[in-house]
Structure 1
Amino acid sequence: MLSLSMSQASEQALTAMEIMVKVDARDEGDTSVADSAMVLIDKRGRKRTRQLKQYSKKYPVGTKYMAIFLTPADLKDTVYINYDWDTSERDDDSWLYLPALQKNKRIAADDRSGSFLGSDFSYADLSGFELAWYDYELLSESEVVNGHDCWLIEYRAKDKYRDKVTASTQDLKTQTWIRKDNFVQVKSKIWKVRAGRIKYYSASDIEKIDGVWTVKKMQMITVKNGKKEHASILKIHNVNYNSFLSDELFKSENMQRAALIN
């Protein structure tokens, strides 16, 4: 009983910044390979499904990520690569390979707020989170989300990074709910620069796979002036961690070749 009380006291003693550091440091495996589906839902409830394969690999200087679209036919063999550098002073590097044009398109830092291939997820949503760009405030030490005790944290861009955050994310502020048992972000409310627009993120179907806490379903909903515009769901059907992945796979000059491996 004493150890439980001490554990709870230790949890409550964490600052908002300390919590977010633990979120950022959460084990996601040295490598991962996932079979996934992205479902796009319009305001009338109509759905379009896209199948894709996702790869990631950690390096001493950051994490490299690649997504290859398998279906539908008009997106087949489209490849997206992102280098999420650990330093906040270096912008991420991203490329999109479009098979119809047979060439790579580099995504500029101020284009990352754009929709990721028509979904409610932006390139910025997929490219990682820069801890040093924001100030954090602990709004609540205990809120229950789907039966799990969570911290509620709000964060906004620091003055010195405000222009960079606005250009790359179009976010004004974010409130996020963090599970205390595993430091997974299970819910977020994101106020956008465009007046009246808010995005709602949720994570569910969370389980431990190969020792890694894995979110198998992510949803992003876009709301304008209180009305739902559209939504996107990303589901992971199968994932493997810590298998060998060649460095060649993540080179931007190999994107056309990468599309052929599936």
Structure 2
Amino acid sequence: MKFNFVDKAIVFISVLLTGFCAVAAESLDGRTIAQMVKNRPDGDTRTSDMEMTLINKGGSTRVRKISSMAMDVGKDTKQIMFFLYPNDVKGTGFLTINYDDMNKDKDKWLYMPSLKKTRRISGKSSKTDYFMGSDFTFDDIGKRNVDEDIHTLLREESKNGHDYWVLESKPKKNDEIYTKKISWIRKDCLIPERVEYYDKLSTLQRVLVNDNIENIGGFWTSTSMNMENVQTKHSTHITFSNQKYDVEIDPKIFTVNRLEKGK
């Protein structure tokens, strides 16, 4: 069979692309994948309504409704949340500023209207205390610097029509509530669909599941999540609605003074 110039060009380009893909695949180590997840496009600003359902071991539930706003300022992220329902938590606000600099402590404030007092959440409390009776710690809310952990790509998997990277992340410091996380990251949208948290005894403690993943306004989004503490049998289910991206938000709203005034 004779090859003409076009055929030879096609073969040459195919070889180049094959080599490029092989190099690209080899370069996807654990840290690279973790950085891709952190850099997943989610707009410069974000707003949403949240319904949080707390479910105890016996199946009893408590429902809370929350309004959330977030803004990126360079590589840092500011987020403020206001509880709207029920009355016993209405007016409660939570403000967090996550710094990309891993050597700079994150700023977190919780305003309790019943006490008319703002509590600063810092240090060990941020990493070990649970947020408003949920199964999320204060530190779970917000972005984490990639280099706070050592990331290892364990394997790749395919299931339910999706391809995943299975990533192990171990904190470099021992002041976390967990010793490692194992995340199943969907390759198409860079969202961790499942995250397993292991306690100080390396026993499975909590499982986070992000489901109902949709593309909203050009951004991949999980519209519901469930965090279950498999040891206590308590779980927290959150559904998101009215999710909007790149909307106008007054940057002055991300202050303690505004937090204490409520939504």
Assess same fold via TM > 0.5.
yes
Cα 1:47–1:239 change in 2 (3 A) is: same
Separation in structure 2 between the aligned mates of residue 4 and residue 75 of structure 1, nearest angstrom: 57
Cα 1:13–1:100 change in 2 (3 A) is: same
Query: How many residue pairs were aligned?
Result: 248
Taking the TM superposition and a 5 Å limit, the aligned residue runs for 1:79-158 are 79-112=93-126, 113-140=128-155, 142-158=156-172
Q: Which has the larger radius of gyration?
A: 2
Taking the TM superposition and a 5 Å limit, the aligned residue runs for 1:1-262 are 9=22, 10-11=24-25, 13-112=27-126, 113-140=128-155, 142-158=156-172, 162-163=173-174, 166=175, 169-193=176-200, 196=203, 198-224=205-231, 229-257=233-261, 259=262, 261=263
Q: Offset of 1:125 from its aligned partner? A: 0.7
Separation in structure 2 between the aligned mates of residue 74 and residue 216 of structure 1, nearest angstrom: 26
The one-letter code sitting in structure 2 at the alignment partner of 1:42 is N
Q: Which runs of 5+ in 1 are unaligned?
A: none
Cα 1:12–1:151 change in 2 (3 A) is: farther
User: SS at the partner of 1:256?
Assistant: helix
Cα 1:89–1:107 change in 2 (3 A) is: same
Q: Offset of 1:194 from its aligned partner? A: 6.3
Cα 1:177–1:4 change in 2 (3 A) is: farther
CA deviation map 1:67-87 (0-9, x unaligned): 110111100010000000011
Cα 1:61–1:21 change in 2 (3 A) is: closer
Scaled by the length of structure 2, the TM-score of the pair is 0.88
User: SS at the partner of 2:179?
Assistant: strand
Q: Which runs of 5+ in 2 are unaligned?
A: 1-13
Scaled by the length of structure 1, the TM-score of the pair is 0.88
CA deviation map 1:11-36 (0-9, x unaligned): 46411111111011111111011011
Q: CA RMSD in A?
A: 2.1
User: SS at the partner of 1:88?
Assistant: coil
Separation in structure 1 between the aligned mates of residue 225 and residue 92 of structure 2, nearest angstrom: 21
Contact 1:190 1:198 survives alignment (8 Å): yes
